[in-house]
Structure 1
């Protein structure tokens, strides 16, 4: 989770002013806050997050301690495939994360018939991944989403406008769910070669090969 540091600074003569830092990882913010506290010149120190909540030092430390037992350091690979002849779609996602000091990989795919384009299938694959995150009870957490769809990545990053009605509906649905879960998304565009795991899952779904697996891995 990323936060800012906000505090009131007191001079020797009693003047005060308020400072608000740039956004940074919560771990780093706590280290800097401890250093600020040593000056004995600060008061009312809080950590505002991107969702409008301000954490106290005690709350943020408790959150960071508890996070070790929950999924964190999450990277999601997603891909959607569309068959123009049959109008069928295959969705695939691979979720890598840490929990309780161990690394894990969750793979999931799905066969879908009601979509109308490859771009829509890509959006649906991302939505499938986010639903898996919801099942995993991922909340108030940064998550990296990796895909090879320029349309999805650039539209959700705000680089491209979303003009098609169906894609706008998917984008709104995804952004709404991310906000509901408090997930801070980072979108990364990669080549299909670097997204081959999710691509394979989507292709298997098109062949009605259902994949749902969870394994512990040596290195994430």
Structure 2
């Protein structure tokens, strides 16, 4: 989670000027806030997070201690593969996250049946990734969602209309899951070559190789 610091800064004549900082990670926001408080020049310190919630310095200390032990700084990569001969879809998802002082990567895939199109497979892959987040206990956090399907990302952002009933059902499922988890999505469309790992997982699922592994990374 990132934060902006808002404060009133005292200048000559006991006048005050409102300042807002750049976006800072929790550790830097806390360090900066504590130093500003010690200086005696800053008043009305508040910390605004990416979900537009406001925290005092004391509240942010407590919140950061709690979040540190839960998965946070979440990035999802997803991809779906489709076999039109069998109507099967391979779903691939990678989740990068921090917990404690460590970084982790979860890689997983799944094979599902009765799919109609590659676009439906892409939607199913993102829904699969969101279920993995739920299993991790992720809630009420911003989540970066990265994929190479312009259709999925643009329709989720509301920039492109969706006319297919089956895709609208997936849209409803995904938006419902995000609401349930309190997730604030940050979408990013990737060139296909930057999503190779998720694509490989989707292909492996279609080939019958199922993977679900989590490792610590540097």
Q: Same fold (TM over 0.5)?
A: yes
Instruction: Measure, in 2, the Cα distance between the counterparts of 1:208 and 1:56.
Output: 51
What is the CA deviation profile of residues 137-186 of structure 1, one whole-angstrom value per residue up to 9, with x for unaligned ones? 1223333222111112233345x323224333323432333343333333
What is the CA-CA distance between 1:92 and the residue it aligns to?
Answer: 0.9
SS at structure 1 position matched to 2:47: strand
CA distance in 2, matches of 1:132, 1:114: 21
Greater mean deviation of Cα atoms: 169-178 or 142-151: 169-178
Distance 1:70 1:142, change over 3 A: same
Instruction: Name the residue aligned to 2:150.
Output: 150
Q: What's the counterpart of residue 160 of structure 2?
A: 161
Structure 1: gaps (5+ residues): none
Counterpart residue number, 2:178: 178
Aligned equivalent of 1:108 = 108
Counterpart of 1:71 in structure 2 is 71
Gaps of 5+ in 2: none
Counterparts of residues 1-220 of structure 1 (less than 5 Å)? 1-7=1-7, 24-38=24-38, 40=40, 43-51=43-51, 53-158=53-158, 160-164=159-163, 165-217=165-217, 219=218
Specify whether residues 114 and 23 from structure 1 end up closer, same or farther in structure 2 by C-alpha distance, changes over 3 A only.
farther
- State the alpha-carbon separation in 2 of the partners of residues 103 and 44 from structure 1: 34
SS in structure 1 opposite 2:98? strand
Q: What is the CA distance between 1:8 and its match in structure 2?
A: 5.6
Give, in whole Å, the separation in 2 of the partners of 1:27 and 1:154: 33
Shift of 1:21: 6.0
CA apart distance, 1:10? 6.9
Partner Cα separation in structure 1 for residue 21 and residue 100 of structure 2: 31
CA distance in 2, matches of 1:28, 1:156: 32
Using the TM superposition, name which of 92-101 and 28-37 deviates more.
28-37
Q: C-alpha distance in 2, partners of 1:42/1:101? A: 30
Q: CA deviation at 1:12?
A: 7.3
Relative distance call for 1:73 and 1:50 in structure 2 (3 A) is closer
Question: What is the root-mean-square deviation in Å for CA atoms of aligned residues?
Answer: 2.9
CA distance in structure 1 between the aligned counterparts of 2:26 and 2:216, rounded to whole angstroms:
26
Q: d(CA) in 1 for partners of 2:51 and 2:75? A: 21
Q: How has the CA–CA distance of structure 1 residues 114 and 44 changed in structure 2, closer, same or farther, with 3 Å as cutoff?
A: farther
Return the alpha-carbon distance in structure 2 between the equivalents of residues 15 and 91 of structure 1. Answer: 59
35-44 or 54-63: bigger deviation: 35-44
